[in-house]
């Protein structure tokens, strides 16, 4: 019976590992990070950077954002270079390099010519969620290929048509979890319940 109990605990631990967590940067409020380029939270690396074109600047910051909470932000300004305006990009990866599920994110850009979110799947493909993220948006992924990616990039690019333009972006409330497909998680949980029932009948 102890072997069945161990199996139940293993299955339940696997399901628990798949439970989503939220990266919201609030743990950095007590210890501010000056000009951050990479932050570590919940076992993930969140990196940010900007490309400013010419005669401009790019800077990253932890600050109170448009949603009223602490956000990771990027600001880039400058004269467009070769028709491309300034860019701000965030990348998201597990600290140990393994695959994960991306469920949702709060994302905002201003001065936006284009806004894109890219996911890099475990089998080497690139998937895309394109939008014009001019206002704060709750972006819901949570299905299909987004449940098994090795990295994600959140990109905002200025329009590139004015003499001096800007790209600004904020990211917050990134909901991630283990790369376990939903049917597999349901099967694991059902198996755990069945084993618990068997143990109860035979105890």
pLDDT: which is higher, 2 or 89? 89
**Residue 200 included in any domain:** no
Please tell me the predicted confidence (pLDDT) of residue 121. Answer: 92
Structural domain boundaries enclosing 166: 18-180
**Residue 162 included in any domain:** yes
CA–CA separation, 107 and 140 (whole Å):
11
Residue 187 pLDDT > 50:
no
End-to-end Cα, the chain, rounded Å: 8
Query: Cβ neighbours of residue 150 under 8 Å, at least 6 residues apart?
Result: 93, 94, 97, 98, 99, 100, 120, 121, 122
How many domains does the chain divide into?
A: 1
**Residue 52 included in any domain:** yes
pLDDT: which is higher, 187 or 23? 23
Least confident of 9-18, 46-55, 103-112, 179-188: 9-18
**Residue 171 included in any domain:** yes
When the pLDDT of each residue in the chain is averaged and rounded to a whole number, the result is 77
84: domain CATH number? 2.60.120
**Residue 95 included in any domain:** yes
Confidence of residue 95 (pLDDT cuts 50, 70, 90): very high
Least confident of 56-65, 110-119, 136-145, 189-198: 189-198
Give the distance, in angstroms, between the CA of residue 102 and the centroid of all CA atoms in the same chain. Answer: 6
């Amino acid at each position: 019976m102890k072997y069945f109990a161990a199996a139940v605990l293993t299955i339940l631990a696997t399901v628990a590992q798949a439970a989503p967590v939220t990266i919201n940067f609030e743990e950095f409020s007590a210890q501010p990070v000056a000009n951050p380029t990479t932050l570590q939270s919940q076992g993930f690396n969140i990196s940010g950077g900007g490309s400013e074109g010419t005669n401009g600047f790019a800077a990253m910051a932890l600050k109170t954002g448009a949603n009223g909470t602490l956000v990771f932000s990027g600001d880039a300004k400058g004269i467009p270079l070769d028709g491309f305006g300034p860019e701000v990009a965030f990348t998201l990866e597990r600290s140990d390099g393994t695959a994960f599920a991306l469920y949702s994110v709060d994302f905002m850009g201003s001065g936006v010519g284009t806004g894109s979110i890219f996911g890099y799947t475990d089998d080497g493909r690139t998937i895309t969620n394109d939008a014009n993220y001019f206002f704060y948006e709750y972006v819901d992924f949570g299905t299909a290929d987004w449940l098994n990616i090795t990295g994600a990039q959140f990109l905002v690019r200025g329009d590139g048509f004015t003499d001096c333009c800007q790209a600004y972006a904020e990211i917050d409330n990134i909901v991630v979890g283990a790369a376990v497909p939903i049917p597999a998680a349901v099967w694991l949980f059902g198996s755990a319940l069945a084993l618990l029932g068997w143990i109860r009948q035979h105890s």
